[in-house]
Amino acid sequence: MKPLAIITGVGPGTGAAMARRFHAGGYRVAMIARTADRLAALSGEMPDSFAMPTDVSDSADLLGTLDEIKERAGAPKVVIHNAVGGAFGNFLDIAPDVLDQNFQVNVMALLHLARWSAPKMAAEGGGAIIVTGNTSAVRGKANFAGFAPTKAAQRILAESIAREMGPKGIHVAYLMIDAVIDVPWTRQRFKERPDDFFIKPDAIAEEAFHIAHQPRSAWSFLTEVRPFGENW
């Protein structure tokens, strides 16, 4: 039977590209997001894919979805946490609850995903858990007060899980995207920028697929990607 990949945050950009990449690479794909319509459309494109509308910030909803996936498709080989709660504004601008809510999506959902999937993967001989992040995971700019702390927490939680599960054959990795992703709303927002300014979801998905299949003799934890012209 084909291996199963579970992907959260399957919106129009990275998540959909990852679903397509893993599907093309021989995986069945369970897709999680809040928006049912988009998932249904994507699922229509790909046989052996499952649309699982879910709010990952609601742990009961998330765990219910995961159990349903397991019933329909078995244990996953790969889990990708790409869902993200974001915010813009300095610490005075933001509503305090925004930081808490982003923590639920970015960190608590990862904890629940890992607790649910890691033992199942280990029992079946291994697997990979990949988390997508950005430079907020290593740096707190003034206007990312409601977001950056949760990405830093997410990276450190992933690192903590990686150290526990590596020796048990589970590869946990953090893919840090240092660029503006090419999706409709960023194209709108950065209209004046050339095509090369944007990192392509397909390129991100390709790197995620690579990481998920590194030989266990040479695993990466933190991988950064940025377009060739990025000023970093």
- Chain positions 2 to 61 lying near a second copy, rule: CB under 8 A, are 59
Binding pattern for the stretch 166-185 against a second copy, x by CB under 8 A and - elsewhere? xx-x-x--------------
d(CA 89, CA 81): 24
Selected binder of a second copy within 36, 160, 190, 193 (CB under 8 A): 160
d(CA 174, CA 130): 6
Residues ≥6 apart with Cβ < 8 Å to 217: none
d(CA 167, CA 155): 19
Q: How far is the CB of 112 from a second copy (least distance, A)?
A: 7
Q: Is there binding between residue 200 and a second copy (CB under 8 A)?
A: yes
Q: How far is the CB of 119 from a second copy (least distance, A)?
A: 7
- For residue 158, give both structure tokens: 């992933």
Selected binder of a second copy within 6, 7, 130, 148 (CB under 8 A): 148
- 21, 208 in Cβ contact below 8 A? yes
d(CA 14, CA 136): 17
DSSP string spanning 123-146? HTT-EEEEEEEEGGGT---TTBTT
Q: How far is the CB of 51 from a second copy (least distance, A)?
A: 26
Q: Is there binding between residue 193 and a second copy (CB under 8 A)?
A: no
Which residue reads 């950064």 in tokens?
A: 224
Of the candidates 84, 117, 97, the residue with the CA atom closest to the CA atom of residue 5? 117
Nearer to a second copy, 50 or 103 (CB): 103
Q: How far is the CB of 108 from a second copy (least distance, A)?
A: 6
Nearer to a second copy, 39 or 129 (CB): 129
- For residue 30, give both structure tokens: 């369970």
Nearer to a second copy, 48 or 153 (CB): 153
Selected binder of a second copy within 48, 55, 124, 206 (CB under 8 A): 206
Residues in the chain: 232
55-114 residues in contact with a second copy (CB under 8 A) are: 59, 90-92, 96, 99-100, 103-104, 107-108, 111-112, 114
Selected binder of a second copy within 37, 45, 67, 164 (CB under 8 A): 164
Nearer to a second copy, 39 or 176 (CB): 176
